[in-house]
Chain A
Amino acid sequence: MAANHTNRLQSNHGESHTNGSRGFKRVSYLLWLLILSGLVAQNSEVFLQKNGASEWVSLAAGFTVLAVFGVLFFKPVYKIIDTPHFAISSLLVIAVGTALGTFVSQTVPYEVFTERYGETGSAVLRFFQLDDVFHSWWYVSLYAALGLSLVKISLKKKLSRENIGFHLAHLSPIIILFGFWVDYFYGFRGIIQLEEGQAKNVVQVYDGHTNYLKDSTELPFSIQLDKFQFERHDPDYRLQIWRMEQEAHAQEISLHENQKPAKPEILASFPLELMKPRKIYGTDIRFRLTDFYPDFTFEYTYPDNIDTIEARDPGIQLELKTDFGDAALQLRANQPGRDKIADEGIVGAWMEFYWELPAELVAGLNKQPVDKKLAEVNRVIFAGNERRIYFLIDKKLTVEPLEPGKFYPIESKEGAGFTIFHLFPDAAHLQAIPTTKSEELNNPVAMVEIWNKTIPGSKQAYLYPGNAERRSGSFEIPGTPYFLALESFKDMETKFFKSDLTVLDKNGEAVHQQYVKVNEPMLYNGYRFYQTDYDPNRPTYSGIGVSHEPGLYVIYFGFFIMVAGIAQMFYGKTRKQEV
Chain B
Amino acid sequence: MFESFYYTSMLFKVTFVLYLVALLAYFVGTFAKGKIFGTIAISLFGIAFLSCTVLIVDRWIEAGRPPFKTFFESLIFAVWTISLVSIIAEQKFKVRLVGLLSALSIAGIFLYALTKRDVEIIALPPALQTWMFIPHVISYFLAYGALFVAGIGAVLFLVFPKGMASHHTLGEQSRIDFSVFTYQIAKLGFLFLTAGLLLGAWWGQSAWSNYWGWDPKENWALITWLIFAAYLHFRNIKSMDQKKLSWVVIIGVAAIIFTYLGMDYLPTANDSMHVYSNG
Residues of A with Cβ closer than 8 Å to B? Answer: 1-3, 5-6, 9-10, 13, 15-20, 23, 84-85, 87-88, 91-92, 94-95, 98-99, 101-106, 134, 180, 189, 211, 233, 236, 238, 240-241, 266-269, 281-282, 489-497, 517-521, 528, 530-532, 545, 547, 552, 555-556, 559, 562-563, 566-567, 570-571
- Identify 10 residue pairs between A and B in the complex whose beta-carbon atoms are under 8 Å apart, listed by A's number: A2-B174, A3-B177, A5-B180, A10-B238, A95-B222, A99-B223, A489-B122, A518-B129, A519-B130, A519-B207
B237 interface residue, CB < 8 Å from A? yes
User: How many residues belonging to B are interface residues under a CB distance threshold of 8 Å?
Assistant: 68
Residue in B222, B238, B268 whose CB lies within 8 Å of A17: B238
Instruction: Kindly state the separation between the CA atoms of A519 and B127 in the bound complex, as whole angstroms.
Output: 6
Distance in angstroms from B130 CB to nearest chain A CB is 4
Residue in B166, B201, B206 whose CB lies within 8 Å of A519: B206
For window 225-264 of B, CB contacts with A under 8 Å fall at: 226-227, 229-230, 233-241
CB pair B177–A5 under 8 Å, yes or no, is yes
The 5 A-B residue pairs whose C-beta atoms are closest, nearest first, are A518-B126, A84-B236, A268-B7, A95-B226, A493-B123
CB pair A92–B226 under 8 Å, yes or no, is yes
CB pair B122–A102 under 8 Å, yes or no, is no
B91 interface residue, CB < 8 Å from A? no
Residue in B3, B175, B223 whose CB lies within 8 Å of A2: B175
Residue in B195, B213, B266 whose CB lies within 8 Å of A563: B195
CB pair A106–B214 under 8 Å, yes or no, is yes
A to B contact number (C-beta, < 8 Å): 177
CB pair B219–A2 under 8 Å, yes or no, is no
* Nearest residue, chain B, Cβ from A180: B212
Interface string of B178-207 (1 = CB under 8 A from A): 011101100110110011001001100111
Residues of B with Cβ closer than 8 Å to A? Answer: 2-3, 6-7, 93, 119-127, 129-130, 132, 163, 166, 174-177, 179-181, 183-184, 187-188, 190-191, 194-195, 198, 201-202, 205-214, 216, 219-220, 222-223, 226-227, 229-230, 233-241, 266-268
Distance in angstroms from B79 CB to nearest chain A CB is 22
CB pair A266–B235 under 8 Å, yes or no, is no
Distance in angstroms from B171 CB to nearest chain A CB is 15
Which residues on A sit within 8 Å (CB–CB) of B230? 87-88, 91-92, 95
Residue in A101, A494, A570 whose CB lies within 8 Å of B126: A494
Interface-centre pick from B234, B235, B237 (highest chain A CB count, 10 A):
B237
Which residues on B sit within 8 Å (CB–CB) of A95? 222-223, 226-227, 230
- Beyond A5-B180, A92-B230, A101-B219, 12 additional contacts (C-beta under 8 Å) are A6-B179, A10-B238, A84-B233, A91-B226, A102-B220, A189-B210, A266-B119, A269-B119, A495-B126, A519-B127, A552-B211, A563-B191
* Nearest residue, chain B, Cβ from A498: B126
Instruction: Kindly state the separation between the CA atoms of A537 and B151 in the bound complex, as whole angstroms.
Output: 51
CB pair A532–B239 under 8 Å, yes or no, is no
Which residues on B sit within 8 Å (CB–CB) of A238? 120
CB pair A566–B219 under 8 Å, yes or no, is no
Instruction: Kindly state the separation between the CA atoms of A222 and B93 in the bound complex, as whole angstroms.
Output: 63
CB pair A19–B239 under 8 Å, yes or no, is yes
